[in-house]
């Protein structure tokens, strides 16, 4: 689903704001843009010259971190999400320009209401459906619900509905426990869509992909929360699947709609076709347990967690992954794509992993990359992009998304459990000076978790001032001062010494951490730099084995903040995106109120209140910058557009002009 995803902080912080004209000296956008059609080749030196689109060729795109896999159930990587856009498909997609949700893999969908009957009244309505178990067991009638003086009129709207499509039923008000609007979703699927291995896609794949979140052995702690709100799912027929939510939820369409759908025949040991596709595993189980072994939840979960197809990806998209190693992921055009009219132009996409940004820029200039979106400010504004070695083959540009950088503070650590300490750390750092010197003022500070461009971001919340003296007073009031004269402040025998965790090769995090060291030293706070390879870095973060962690979030236009800040995900035993350990009843109440509010205007006000509380009364993050994502691109490639929704571009829209060597006029390779 479209959720807040994790991103390594780029060299330019790669974050979000609104487009500014070149040379602008303020980081505050002149106006907030809403949905709009994206310009094409806005920064290309020949943008005014019309070119004819051609098919063929390849593009090489930089990866700052090598993803561990594309199965979003067991990972929450923004980079993996961007790759999946080209090699996979989902039921619905948010249009990157207009921001509305549209059918994608699903051909269409129906949204219906749900009447929850009082237990004693269920027998009066033969068509009532029993769902759920235990405390969540209920009898429901669903369809389009109209309230009347005496109760409700329910009309079936979807295929396979209990009432019959277009048929109505009257339900007395006294028999109804509650009405939950917009909580039943029926998706209609194509009958001609095949996985990259040729197996036919159907509704069983969709249902299975949701069911795995109910298996606690699946390592899905970062992504499980949204799917737990679905109370029931069912396969109506091979091309129809239905989900029923427990209660109203503002992102209900998006939860199953953007779910990472897995091929059941490759991930489910119980699928009849799995033996054909993985005979060795079944032979091993038979050898160990004998024929007819019933798989446990732990065995089923481990099979998903360790499945080779997490990297040897079999998807549904226009491009098929053909190779994957520690340096590159290669995808080629999938000739069996069921929607050829929506396939991309190039024949091959190569994602190349180069962790060090300086090395990556040199690789670009040496024609080893076609697209690099982490150009450092000193290179973007300096000689590196003005020299003919660059300008002969490449051009530069920038765009903004809603991504924001942050430094998370582990509130479970004794050094950081006090609000005064966390606020003091923000006040002791000169953010405006850093914006001016590091980003040439082409950046916007943020202080809240919602997308900067969305309605839930509260622009009335004032930033804590840069005031080292006031920060020192806050620390002293919280009991932190130098008791033993060693230059480091302490409390209860613990020194205010903080490990700053960041990924190896990330210049932005490194330079920021060094600036923190410099800023905090006069206050008696010691910062230790700790850079780790990405996999180790993630493990340390999720285990809450850190003090400060420098990263970026990639929120959709409107995100559900539960995964970041709800108490249920804040304890140390939870490997969740609430890595700071936020456990605040006021925050919980606002999140829960926002989740069930379907009126967009009212919901945005709730998120704005949450924004204020997070920043002023909890302060788990030192919120960073919304900065433009500065990129360099091969001039031969055309069709580049930038969007506010991350990653901010769509490779399948890129093309080489007609006449370029290796291209052709039509999609079919046989036309060459």
Terminal CA-CA length for the chain: 39
Question: How many angstroms separate the CA atoms of 61 and 163, rounded?
Answer: 51
Q: With 70 as the cut, is the pLDDT of residue 547 above it?
A: yes
- Does the reported pTM lie above 0.95? no
**pLDDT for the residue numbered 23:** 27
User: Rounded CA gap, 457 and 32, in Å?
Assistant: 12
3-state secondary structure 347-414: CEEEEEECCCHHHHHHHHHCCCCCEECCCCHHHHCCHHHCCHHHHCCEEEEEECCCCEEEEEECCCCH
Closest CA to 553 of 373, 407, 398: 407
Q: What residue has token string 């990359």? A: 369
CA distance 327 to 420: 44
Distance CA 509, CA 520 (A): 16
The tokens 């400060």 sit on which residue? 548
Residue 35 burial (C-beta neighbours within 10 Å; 0-12, 13-18, 19+): middle
pLDDT in tens, 500-539: 999 887 888 999 999 999 999 999 999 999 999 988 998 9
- At 162, the pLDDT band (50, 70, 90 cuts) reads confident
Domain residue spans of the chain: 108-187, 196-241+250-310
Closest CA to 577 of 202, 221, 326: 221
Mean pLDDT computed over 257-283: 97
Determine the topology of domain 196-241+250-310 in CATH.
Dipeptide-binding Protein; domain 1 (3.90.76)
Q: Are the CB atoms for 372 and 385 separated by under 8 Å?
A: no
- Which pair of structure tokens corresponds to residue 510? 């490194």
Parallel, antiparallel or unpaired: strands 404-409 and 621-623: antiparallel
- CA-CA distance, 590 to 581, in Å (whole number)? 17
Strand order in the sheet with 53-56: 656-657, 53-56, 663-664
High-pLDDT (> 90) share of the chain, %:
78
Nearest-10 crossing angle of helices 468-477, 419-427 = 170
487 or 626, which is more confident? 487
The pLDDT value given to residue 4 = 52
Provide mean pLDDT across the span 198-227. 94
Round to whole Å and give the CA distance between 626 and 568.
Answer: 29
202 pLDDT above the threshold of 50: yes
Query: Which of these ranges, 31-40, 52-61, 373-382, 649-658, has the smallest mean pLDDT?
Result: 31-40
> Hey, what are 432's tokens?
């405006």
Strands 548-554 and 497-503, sheet pairing: parallel
Closest to 81 measured CA to CA, from 29, 153, 198, 3: 3
Cα 566 to chain centroid distance, Å, stands at 17
Given a cut of 60, whether residue 26 has pLDDT beyond it is no
Query: What is d(CA 107, CA 188) in angstroms, rounded to the nearest whole number?
Result: 6
Helices (H), 88-154: none
In this predicted structure, what is the pLDDT of residue 22? 25
The pLDDT confidence band at residue 18, using thresholds 50, 70 and 90, is very low
CA distance 201 to 48: 43
């Amino acid at each position: 689903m479209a959720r807040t995803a994790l991103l390594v902080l780029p060299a330019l912080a790669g974050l979000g704001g609104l487009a500014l004209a070149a040379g602008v000296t303020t980081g505050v956008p002149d106006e907030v843009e809403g949905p709009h059609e994206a310009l094409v080749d806005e920064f290309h030196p020949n943008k005014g010259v019309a070119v004819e689109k051609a098919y063929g060729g390849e593009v090489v795109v930089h990866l700052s971190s090598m993803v561990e896999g594309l199965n979003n159930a067991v990972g929450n990587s923004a980079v993996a999400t961007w790759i999946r856009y080209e090699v996979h498909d989902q039921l619905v997609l948010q249009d990157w320009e207009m921001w509305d949700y549209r059918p994608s893999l699903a051909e269409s969908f129906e949204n219906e209401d749900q009447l929850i009957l009082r237990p004693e009244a269920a027998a009066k309505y033969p068509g009532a459906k029993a769902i759920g178990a235990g405390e969540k067991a209920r009898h429901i009638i669903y369809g389009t619900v109209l309230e009347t003086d005496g109760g409700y009129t329910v009309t079936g709207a979807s295929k396979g509905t209990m009432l019959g499509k277009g048929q109505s039923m009257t339900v007395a008000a006294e028999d109804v426990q509650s009405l939950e609007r917009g909580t039943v979703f029926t998706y209609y699927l194509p009958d001609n869509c095949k996985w990259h291995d040729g197996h036919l896609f159907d509704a069983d794949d969709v249902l299975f992909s949701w069911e795995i979140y109910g298996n606690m052995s699946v390592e899905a702690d970062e992504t499980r929360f949204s799917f737990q709100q679905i109370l029931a799912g069912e396969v109506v027929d091979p091309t129809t699947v239905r989900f029923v939510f427990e209660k109203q939820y503002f992102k209900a369409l998006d939860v199953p709609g953007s779910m990472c759908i897995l091929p059941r025949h490759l991930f489910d040991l119980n699928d009849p076709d799995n033996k054909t596709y993985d005979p060795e595993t079944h032979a091993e189980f038979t050898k160990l347990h004998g024929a007819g072994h019933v798989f446990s939840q732990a065995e089923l979960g481990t099979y998903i967690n360790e499945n080779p197809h997490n990297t040897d990806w079999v998807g549904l998209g226009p491009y098929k992954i053909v190779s994957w190693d520690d340096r590159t992921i290669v995808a080629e055009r999938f000739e069996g794509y069921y929607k050829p009219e929506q396939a991309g132009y190039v024949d091959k996409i190569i994602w190349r992993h180069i962790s060090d940004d300086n090395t990556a820029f040199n690789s670009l200039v040496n024609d080893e990359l076609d697209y690099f979106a982490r150009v450092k400010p000193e290179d973007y504004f300096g000689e590196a992009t003005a020299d003919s070695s660059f300008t002969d083959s490449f051009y530069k540009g920038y765009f903004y998304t809603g991504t924001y950088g942050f430094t998370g503070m582990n509130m479970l650590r004794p050094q950081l459990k006090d609000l005064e300490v966390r606020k003091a750390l923000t006040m002791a750092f000169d953010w405006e000076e850093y914006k001016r010197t590091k980003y040439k003022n082409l950046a916007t500070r943020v202080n809240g978790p919602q997308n900067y461009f969305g309605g839930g971001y509260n622009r009335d919340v004032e930033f804590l001032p840069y005031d080292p003296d006031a920060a020192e007073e806050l620390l002293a009031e919280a009991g932190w001062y130098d008791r033993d004269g060693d230059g480091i402040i302490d409390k209860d025998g613990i020194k205010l010494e903080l490990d700053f965790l960041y990924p190896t090769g990330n210049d932005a995090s490194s330079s920021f951490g060094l600036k923190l060291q410099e800023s905090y030293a006069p206050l008696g706070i010691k910062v230790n730099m700790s850079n780790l390879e990405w996999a180790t870095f993630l493990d340390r973060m999720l285990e809450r084995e850190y003090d400060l962690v420098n990263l970026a979030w990639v929120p959709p236009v409107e995100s559900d903040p539960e995964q970041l800040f709800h108490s249920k995900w804040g304890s140390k035993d939870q490997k969740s995106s609430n890595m700071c350990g936020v456990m605040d009843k006021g925050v919980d109440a606002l999140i829960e109120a926002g989740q069930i509010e379907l009126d967009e205007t009212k919901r945005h006000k709730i998120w704005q209140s949450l924004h204020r509380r997070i920043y002023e009364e909890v302060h788990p993050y030192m919120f960073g910058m919304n900065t433009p994502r500065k990129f360099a691109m091969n001039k031969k490639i055309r069709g580049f557009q930038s969007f506010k929704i991350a990653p901010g571009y769509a490779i399948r829209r890129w093309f080489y002009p007609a006449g370029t060597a290796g291209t052709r006029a039509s999609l079919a390779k046989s036309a060459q």
